[in-house]
Amino acid sequence: MDRRHFLTGAAAAATLGAFTQPRSPAAEVDVMIPVNHIGTSTYSFWHFGKNPHDIRDVEKCIDMAADMGFDAVEILQQQLTDSSPPYLQRLKRRAFKLGLQFNGLSTHQTFMSPDKAVRQKNVELVKSQIETAYALGIPTMRVNTGRWGTSKDFDELMKNKGIEPVLPGHTEDEGFGWVIDGYTACLKTAEKCGVTLGLENHWGLGRTPEGVVRIVTAINSPWLQVTLDTGNFLEDPYEKLEKIAPYAVLVQTKTYYGGGVWYSLHLDYDRIAALLHRHNYRGYLSLEFEGMEDPRTAVPKSLAMLRKAFGARA
């Protein structure tokens, strides 16, 4: 064998060896697997005018999220001042250029009405919101049950810890039926667009984990799962979060620097991270800063805290 053939053969053998030699146990231990990508909701920058530092402009929120080091942005639908196709595509292009994903669209609707026409109007609303998510390339959309509407306003509802009386002459069981029928009517559109609806543990019939699970299991579809919000169970949150964690497709993580707009919770995110890891949750976290501090300082602090709690593991 001449020298050229020898060197060629030796190089091939070395290359083959690199692919066939087993890795040492130490090398396997050193590999770190990212657990969760972290995004922020545009709601972190805009609290419906409650915070004097509020920033409503969605494009500016996207820019700030990129500058702060987030992986993704969840859009609060009520924050959009323009929902025309050209504007939505402009947002998508902006996020792409900044290296960001859109990880969620957070919407509002209600099926808790005895009026069939009102419920049908909300079916059409949800379908149109699904189409908005599809246009933006968003894979999951936050939905909720709605509320009874027997509170004077949202501030009163928050004073009462999300509890409000049932509409006179009606029952919670009726309400569950309305919500289940409403979202069932939206499933074909969700499947067509590839957008998973995430029922949030919000207010109304979603105020308890049992209420959320009752709706999700009754509908029994991969296109209706759960958006888990860490800040919407005001008492004994960890046991309640555990009950809905198996269904989670998005996790919204609340922080309250400067004191909460409506209330403050002292959440143990190391404990929440461990809880979600037990259920093998590998999806996005979406920060919802809901405090009175300037989001320019509070949101980066929140991100650092979440990265520390969720980070990466072997």
End-to-end CA distance of the chain: 47
State residue 159's pLDDT score.
Answer: 86
Look up tokens 């509020």; give the residue: 54
**Which residue, among 168, 132, 135, 128, has the nearest Cα to 150 in the 3D structure?**
168
Query: Where are the domains positioned within the chain?
Result: 31-313
Q: Which long-range contacts (CB under 8 A, 24 or more apart) does 27-35 make?
A: 29/314, 30/314, 31/314, 32/312, 32/313, 32/314, 33/312, 33/313, 33/314, 34/312, 35/273, 35/277, 35/282, 35/310, 35/311, 35/312, 35/313
State residue 18's pLDDT score.
Answer: 37
State residue 312's pLDDT score.
Answer: 56
Q: 0.85 cut: is pTM over it?
A: yes
Domain made up of 31-313: CATH architecture: Alpha-Beta Barrel (3.20)
State residue 158's pLDDT score.
Answer: 85
Q: Which backbone phi and psi does 163 adopt, to 5 degrees?
A: -95, 130
> Residues 6 or more apart from 226 whose CB is under 8 A from it?
198, 199, 200, 201, 212, 216, 244, 247, 248, 249
Over the chain (314 residues), what is each successive 10-residue block's mean pLDDT?
A: 42 38 44 76 95 95 98 97 96 98 97 97 98 98 94 87 92 97 98 98 95 98 98 95 98 97 95 95 97 97 96 56
Which runs of consecutive H residues, i.e. helices, occur in the chain? Answer: 3-20, 25-30, 58-68, 85-97, 116-136, 154-159, 172-184, 187-193, 209-219, 237-244, 269-278, 295-310
Radius of gyration of the chain (CA): 23
State residue 10's pLDDT score.
Answer: 41
State residue 32's pLDDT score.
Answer: 52
